[in-house]
Chain A
Amino acid sequence: MKAKTQFLLLVAVMLSATSCYKYPSDTEFLDERDVVLTMYDTKVDFTEFKTFAIVDSIGLIKDDDTVVVRISNDTTKAVLDRIAQDMNQRGFTKVDKEQHPDLAINVVAIKTLNTIYYYPGYWWNYPGYYTPDYWGWYDWGYYYPWYPTYIYQYETGTLVIDIMDQKHADPVSKTIPVVFNAYIRGILNGHHSLDQVLGDVDQAFAQTPQLQTN
């Protein structure tokens, strides 16, 4: 009996030792470089677009969002300027939104508190997001021409860049197609500098060579 007890004790010790091994710590994740994910509509010929306009502030989306929150400061200006700069380098010309640009660019920062799985596009319903009204499309909506195949878990903060195709807005369904989408994850966790965020914006364009006028 004593031998059996010793044997069972050994089993318990070995099981305990192996169960201690887990995923990397949250801190290790946060210290990682950001994640830059980009998707685009493969059916779109980006060379047919020449002009774009971009929002002048960054909308903020949180779980308990009930009012419109948009941030405009030196940091957000630097981010928006960098996006415009990258678009210029790809051959697109920035114009005012009243000049009916081919492409409209929305930028939002998502800071959720809960660990929830979302499909891309869920943020369109939050107050901080720029609705089609902002671009002059009253009572219209957005849609992705492609089916977003990835599900993401938002926890540490995400910058979202949506580029809408205003040349091919569908008057029947009253929707505006989103032809490019970028997620830059991890920027709102306080572990990253502005330079890193701007570098990630550049990376979003660098890994999407299709997004250019020629």
Chain B
Amino acid sequence: MKKFIAFILFLILFGSGIVHGQSKPVGSYYSLNWNISVPIGDFNQWIAPASFFGFSATGRYFLVDGFGLGWHLGYNNYYEKDNYETYYFDGGAISAAHYNYTYMVPFKMDIFYHYKPASLVSPYISLGIGGNYQENHLLIQDMDFYENTWNFILNPELGTVIRFDKGSSWGVRLGVGYLFTTAKTDFTDLKNFQSVHFMIGIVYTVF
């Protein structure tokens, strides 16, 4: 994981200096991404393992000098199985193995800046603000206690777009971001679910 982060940071910091090839202006680009998300903070107490079941779709539109606006729709599925334990509540108790699930569907608007958007390697920084639909499931055998929540998110992100060839519409996108949500679960006292996500995607650019 550290190597992966280092690789992304390397591309962000030095990538644009490796190759210069700004031939035609970029109008917009779209990407489909595989998201790996690592719960942190309170979220990590609800579900600790990273989610490898995630994807996102984005569209970004350049306005002026590398700045632009975009949209983002994502999905991640988090899951953890806990051991057989006894939980006490007022007037009773339950002993069981249980599963914690969270489904997260963040949707947001991004404001971004790309350094040399048409370069072979173009790093970016972005800030996303939007909403999140979330389901938390506490599954005890086939008994499914669940809750739905809508909440706000804040999502700063660093990344880079690497084109397959100079002037090519196709490329890949790498990114790392921090996702803060106002989500909580009534099953516990946990709130403000947070995660760090890593993104690898396919990019299609419209010049």
Closest residue on chain A to residue B140 by CB atoms: A35
Judge whether A111 is part of the interface by a CB distance below 8 angstroms: no
Cβ-closest chain A residue relative to B92: A39
User: B101 to chain A: which residues have CB within 8 Å?
Assistant: 23
Q: Are A155 and B142 in contact (CB under 8 A)?
A: yes
Chain B, interface size category, equals 20 to 34
A203 to B169, CA, bound (A): 64
Say if the beta carbon of B90 comes within 8 Å of chain A. yes
Give the residues in chain A near B204, CB-CB below 8 Å.
3, 7
Q: Which of B57, B75, B92, B202 contacts A37 (CB 8 A)?
A: B92
Q: Residue-by-residue, is A174-212 near B (CB-CB < 8 Å gives 1, otherwise 0)?
A: 000000000001100000000000000001000110000
Q: Report whether B94 and A37 are in contact in the complex, using a CB–CB cutoff of 8 Å.
A: yes
Tell me which residues across on chain A come within 8 A of B95, comparing CB atoms. 35-37, 203, 207
CB of A116 within 8 A of chain B?
A: no
Q: Which of B88, B90, B202 contacts A207 (CB 8 A)?
A: B88
Contact A33 B84, CB 8 Å, known A10-B32, A15-B55, A18-B77: yes
Are A24 and B92 closer than 8 Å at their CB atoms? Answer: no
**8 A Cβ contacts from A7-22 to B:** 7, 10-11, 14-15, 17-18, 21
B97's nearest neighbour on chain A, judged by CB, is A32
Q: CB < 8 Å: which of A11, A14, A152, A208 contacts B93?
A: A208
A42 at the interface (CB under 8 A from B): yes
Contact of B32 among A11, A33, A42, A155 (CB under 8 A): A11
* A36/B94 in contact, CB under 8 A: yes
Q: What is the CA–CA distance of A136 and B59 in the complex, to the nearest angstrom?
A: 74
Task: Judge whether A126 is part of the interface by a CB distance below 8 angstroms.
Answer: no
**Are the C-beta atoms of A24 and B91 separated by less than 8 Å?**
no
Q: What total of chain A residues lie within 8 Å of the partner, measured CB to CB?
A: 35
Chain B residues whose CB sits within 8 angstroms of the CB of A34 once the complex forms:
96
**Residue in B86, B90, B141 whose CB lies within 8 Å of A42:** B90
Q: How far, in whole Å, are A23 and B138 apart by their CA atoms in the complex?
A: 12
State which residues 107-154 of A face B: CB under 8 Å: 115, 146, 152-153
| B89 shortest CB reach to chain A, Å | 9
B172 CB to nearest chain A CB (Å): 12
CB pair B92 A18 closer than 8 Å = no
- When distances are taken between beta carbons in the complex, the residues of chain A under 8 Å from B92 are 37-40, 208
Q: Which residue on A lies nearest to B35, using beta carbons?
A: A18
Whether B88 pairs with A33 at a CB distance below 8 angstroms is: no
A93 at the A/B interface (Cβ < 8 Å)?
no
Q: Which residues of B contact A56 (CB under 8 A)?
A: none
Indicate with 1 or 0, residue by residue over B144-181, a CB within 8 angstroms of chain A CB atoms.
Answer: 10000000000000000000000001100000000000
Which residues on the B side are within 8 Å of A26 (C-beta)?
142
CB distance from B72 to the nearest CB of A (A): 14
In the complex, B117 has a CB within 8 A of chain A? no
> Which of B30, B77, B140, B143 is the one whose CB lies under 8 Å from A7?
B30
Known contacts: A14-B55, A35-B140, A42-B91. The answer to whether A3 contacts B77 by CB under 8 A is: no
B interface residues with partner A (beta carbon < 8 Å): 30, 32, 34, 53-55, 57, 75, 77, 81, 84, 86, 88, 90-97, 99, 101, 139-144, 169-170, 202, 204
Interface residues of A (CB under 8 A from B): 3, 7, 10-11, 14-15, 17-18, 21, 23-24, 26, 29, 32-42, 115, 146, 152-153, 155-156, 185-186, 203, 207-208
